[in-house]
Structure 1
């Protein structure tokens, strides 16, 4: 990661400072940036981060604002209106949206920023809290090449790779593709584990064997190891994964792309969210295991 900052390195304000944003903020501070934040609760676990009472006040003190909120509704609530971020940003400022939201919300924000003379990049990240902790996120950016280059020192501080996906909106769409693959893989893994247990395979042998085969991704092997121990601490909460699948289904329907596998995956992840909304989305493995155990 680059540690060389320009002499006029921007002051960065975060809208949303939860599990992912606080970890990104810590890396930015280590890289020499000044970091401030706004959260609806007005609280931060990091005493070195100054908190502001509204998005507008935060934006008025920042050169660059990074948004990290859970969904379209939270994005709209923090961006628009008399106390919103856009009301406080000065013309020429930069707004980087790392949230996983719909293409429509991304387009609306880009248009509003353009009217206000603000550069807007959609830059969701691929990775969970472990990658955010280690600064190894993959940043998926939509916007013009010059604007991406201007923001590169920020991306270098929080991630290991920056993918310039294309013009505005491309980062958002690429994130939906990636999360769709991630969700489908986990759902298939949960169902297959359920079958293996119901068929009488030894649980320890099954989990250990799956950890050795090449057909399962490193990400899903990490989930499998945690599931073996019954550990579903939220690295990526089920409510957020199910939300992303819902966004992908809607986006695919708008393009008239048939996605029956992803539709079925969304139903499975809805089950996981219903049972364990705030635990990791891999809790679906535990749900399937419990179903099998109860039916035995």
Structure 2
């Protein structure tokens, strides 16, 4: 058990709320702020501003969807940093650009606030089970302070390197995830167009070693037409866009990732809030219309 420290959540969506459940089981209290001002589950109090949450929490955990949301929640007189004290711990679990992560680190340093960029690998099932992989960038001593929180929400913490490294590693991982799904979707479309039995095809892909457990889970869901959001298309497409920009800044050629981003842009137009595996359904519909 902990000494009843309070975690202040900035953002309380599908991932953060599940993290909060596991932290409460570990003995932490939780308060939260959301831009909508809505929320409250009986055991989590919602406060009117991010600064209010930061001023009343022992540790602040940020989980927002993109760079713009991070900036809105962190800066300004009602922002998180305005409410924090020197040496307070700020954990940024958001999947944002390396530039946004670096900017937050520098702004926090100016206020003597201890910050770690620590996006997580895993979707809502892993968040619910406390089996996330935490991708942490920051100083060893600060990571040691955060270890009890990371242990409560995840199965493994990877120290990716200095500040900003967690954000960069997250883009690597999500790029592989997105490109892998695009390959699955395109090859399923070929198999269906070529006349393979649909049930046989989906079941066969669940058996072979070349497909990751994550993508097998997506294939099983797609077989039944279930694209309920574990990782919404709009967020995956955003991460691919961030990766393309980050690679271009370093003159790294990523044509496969560029093509994948276009596929996910198409899927976002068709099913923004569905799981990103809806790309499988989009491709299936294309070949079905040719039948």
TM-score (norm: length of structure 2):
0.99
Aligned mates of 1:287, 1:269 — CA distance in 2: 10
1:6-52, Cα deviation, whole Å (9 max, x unpaired): x4x53210000010000000000010011110012222252110110
SS of the equivalent of 2:135 reads: strand
The residue aligned with 1:48 is 43
Which segment is superposed worse, 63-72 or 39-48?
A: 39-48
The residue aligned with 2:208 is 213
Aligned mates of 1:63, 1:79 — CA distance in 2: 17
The residue aligned with 2:157 is 162
Equivalent residue for 2:288, pick from 281, 287, 293: 293
The residue aligned with 1:129 is 124
SS of the equivalent of 2:183 reads: helix
The residue aligned with 2:113 is 118
Aligned mates of 1:59, 1:26 — CA distance in 2: 19
Aligned mates of 2:5, 2:90 — CA distance in 1: 12
Judged with a 3 Å threshold, the aligned counterparts in structure 2 of structure 1 residues 45 and 60 are, in CA distance, closer, same or farther, namely closer
TM-score (norm: length of structure 1):
0.97
Give unpaired runs (5+ residues) of structure 1: none
Say whether residues 1:273 and 2:271 are aligned partners: no
Equivalent residue for 2:85, pick from 90, 96, 103: 90
Displacement of 1:74: 0.2
Give unpaired runs (5+ residues) of structure 2: none
Query: Is the CA contact 2:40–2:46 (under 8 Å) kept in the aligned structure 1?
Result: no
Displacement of 1:78: 0.4
1:211-238, Cα deviation, whole Å (9 max, x unpaired): 1100000000000000000000000000
SS of the equivalent of 2:267 reads: helix
Aligned mates of 2:184, 2:267 — CA distance in 1: 13
SS of the equivalent of 1:139 reads: strand
Aligned mates of 1:50, 1:211 — CA distance in 2: 43
Aligned mates of 1:64, 1:116 — CA distance in 2: 15
Which segment is superposed worse, 70-79 or 37-46?
A: 37-46
Query: Is the CA contact 2:139–2:162 (under 8 Å) kept in the aligned structure 1?
Result: yes
Question: Runs ≥4 in structure 1, deviation > 4 angstroms?
Answer: none
Say whether residues 1:149 and 2:144 are aligned partners: yes
C-alpha RMSD of matched pairs (Å):
0.8
The residue aligned with 2:70 is 75
Aligned mates of 2:54, 2:40 — CA distance in 1: 21
